[in-house]
Amino acid sequence: MISFINVTCSFRKNAGVKDLNFSIDDGEFVFLTGPSGAGKSTLLRLIYMDLFPEKGKVLIRDFDSSRMRDRQIPYLRRKVGMIFQDFQLLKDRNVYQNVAIALYASHYKTREIKSRVYDILNQVGLGHRVHHKATELSGGEQQRVAIARALVKEPMVLLADEPTGNLDPRVSIELINLLNKINKKGTAVIVATHNYSLIKRVPGARLIQMNEGEITSIT
Amino acid sequence: MTIFWFLFKEGFKGLLRSKYSGAFSIIIIAVSIIMVGFGYVIARDTLFAVGNIRSQFDVDIFIVATAGPQDIEDFHQKLRSMNEIDQILYISPEMAAEKFKKEFGEDIFDILDYNPLPPSFTISLKSIYRNLMSVEAIASILQRDSIVDEVKYRKNFLIILEKYQRVILVVVLVVFAVLTIISIILTSNSIKMTIFARRDIISTLKLIGATNRFVKMPFVIEGTLEGGLGALLAGLIIYGVIYVQNNYLQSFFDYRLNVSLRYYIALFVLGLFLGWVGSRRAIRRFL
For the segment A152-196, what is each residue's pLDDT rounded down to a tens digit?
A: 988 999 999 988 887 888 888 888 888 888 898 889 999 999 888
Domain ranges in chain A are: 1-79+158-166+188-219
How far is the C-alpha of A163 from the C-alpha of B2, rounded, in Å?
33
Q: Which residues of A touch B (CB under 8 A)?
A: 48, 71, 74-78, 82, 88-92, 101-102, 104-110, 113, 149-150, 153
How far is the C-alpha of B193 from the C-alpha of B202, rounded, in Å?
14
Facing B2 at nearest CB: one of A77, A91, A110: A110
How far is the C-alpha of B243 from the C-alpha of B256, rounded, in Å?
10
**Short-list B218, B220, B70, B67, CA closest to B150:** B67
Mean pLDDT over the full length of chain A? 89
How far is the C-alpha of A138 from the C-alpha of A144, rounded, in Å?
10
Facing A88 at nearest CB: one of B207, B211, B212: B207
Q: Does B1 touch chain A (CB under 8 A)?
A: no
Average pLDDT over residues A3-23: 85
Long-range CB pairs of B67-75 (<8 Å, 24+ gap) are B67/B119, B67/B147, B71/B147, B72/B119, B72/B147, B74/B147, B75/B121, B75/B145, B75/B147, B75/B148
Asked casually if ipTM beats, i.e. exceeds, 0.90, the reply is no
Whether A155 and A83 have beta carbons less than 8 Å apart is answered as no
CATH level 3 topology of B58-153: Alpha-Beta Plaits (3.30.70)
For residue A13, pLDDT over 70 is answered with no
Domain ranges in chain B are: 2-53+161-284, 58-153
Q: Tell me: the pLDDT tens digits for B107-123?
A: 777 777 777 888 999 99
Cross-sheet strand order for the sheet of B148-152:
B85-91, B120-125, B59-63, B148-152
Facing A74 at nearest CB: one of B17, B204, B209: B209
**Short-list A80, A9, A40, A47, CA closest to A195:** A40
The secondary structure element, H or E, covering residue B11 is helix B2-55
How far is the C-alpha of A122 from the C-alpha of B190, rounded, in Å?
42
Q: What is the dihedral of CA A206, A211, A215, A216, to 10 degrees?
A: -80
Q: Tell me: the pLDDT tens digits for A54-64?
A: 999 999 998 99
Average pLDDT over residues B263-267: 95
How far is the C-alpha of B211 from the C-alpha of B240, rounded, in Å?
44
Return the CATH superfamily for domain A1-79+158-166+188-219.
P-loop containing nucleotide triphosphate hydrolases (3.40.50.300)
Q: Tell me: the pLDDT tens digits for B130-186?
A: 888 888 999 999 988 888 999 998 888 888 887 887 888 888 788 878 888 887 888
